[in-house]
Amino acid sequence: MRIYEIIDEDNNLSVGVLFYYEKQKTYIIELSEELDEWTAPLLFTNLVRQKRYTVPRELSIMWVRERIIPSGRQNISDILRNHKLESYDEMKFLELSKGKCSQDSCYIKKLSELPDFAEQRRLHNLTNCAILDDNNILCFFEDGIVRKIDINVLSGIEGFDKVIENRKLFETCMVGAGGYYITFNDSIDVDRSFLYDAGIRIPMTLSDFKAFITGNVYDTTQTCDALECSRQNLAYMIKRDQLTPVKENVKGSLFLKDDVFRNMW
């Protein structure tokens, strides 16, 4: 992760922080709460008016692309050669230009640590999520809060009706870059602020959840050892519905320990 402060040079104002997650090639901008609709960059005016200060990744990358040479530029090969670049790299061009463009007076400066306001907001970022059978999502946050969220509560979010209607799409749910959102098929995002405020708070922690998995889930080898049977016998038990895996793949399966023990009685 790389961190940059966004500074409005003309107004001598810190606009916020730009995060770049290299593996996911994802940008997230955290705006300062000192901004108003008159001092915020034009692209973010509507967010600031709504008092939303975390910029979604689509809008963040739009801001970045306003400030760099587009990949489709006619003489892009010459530009790459001049800068000794083997391929087009958005972040490299942003650093070379210091984030400056003709539309405003903003530029970026690399930071070695987070400003306090950005560090504080990260407490509401996601650490994990788990989908449940009843169209709910279990969300774990940095500050230890756990919430169970009915996906129907999120129906007003653009594009989310597709998730509600399609179980396979729902099952692609995962935490996005930096924990700022969950994403479905890496295309439909839900901001962590919606999730943090929605649903039912569950009196448990991620440590509790991990402890349950560690103490109550057996893999195929452990199950065979406990039942004193071969993998072939185990496959026969599964086929006869005597034992149901909680997760299956070609290398083996996972079972709840209590289900295994019931087959020992």
Select from 182, 204, 226 the last residue of a domain: 204
Q: Is residue 19 located within the same domain as residue 115?
A: yes
Read off the DSSP letter of residue 157. Answer: S
Q: Is residue 94 located within the same domain as residue 189?
A: no
Read off the DSSP letter of residue 56. Answer: P
Q: Is residue 18 located within the same domain as residue 73?
A: yes
Q: Is residue 44 located within the same domain as residue 101?
A: yes
* Weakest mean pLDDT among 124-128, 153-157, 194-198: 153-157
Select from 84, 105, 120 the last residue of a domain: 120
- 215-253: b or e for each residue (b if 16 or more CB lie within 10 Å)? eebbebeebbeebeeeeeebeebeeeeebebeeeeeebb
pLDDT in tens, 57-102: 999 999 999 999 988 888 889 899 888 888 898 999 999 999 999 8
Q: Is residue 197 located within the same domain as residue 185?
A: yes
pLDDT in tens, 176-229: 999 999 999 999 999 999 999 888 999 988 899 889 888 899 999 999 999 999
Read off the DSSP letter of residue 175. Answer: E
Select from 159, 188, 204 the last residue of a domain: 204
Q: Which domain holds residue 151?
A: 125-204
Read off the DSSP letter of residue 201. Answer: E
Kindly state the percentage of the chain with pLDDT values over 90: 66
Q: Is residue 112 located within the same domain as residue 28?
A: yes
Q: Is residue 15 located within the same domain as residue 60?
A: yes
Distances (CA, A) of 96 to 2, 85, 109, 114, 218: 15, 12, 11, 22, 52
Predicted pLDDT at 168: 92
- What percent of the residues of the chain are helix, what percent strand, and what percent coil, each to the nearest 5? 35, 25, 35
Mean pLDDT across 22-35: 94
Q: Is residue 94 located within the same domain as residue 65?
A: yes
* Distance of alpha carbon 172 from alpha carbon 20, whole angstroms: 23
Domain count, the chain: 3
pLDDT in tens, 40-56: 999 999 999 999 999 99
Predicted TM-score (pTM) of the model is 0.83
Q: Is residue 195 located within the same domain as residue 213?
A: no
Q: Is residue 188 located within the same domain as residue 172?
A: yes
Q: Is residue 17 located within the same domain as residue 114?
A: yes
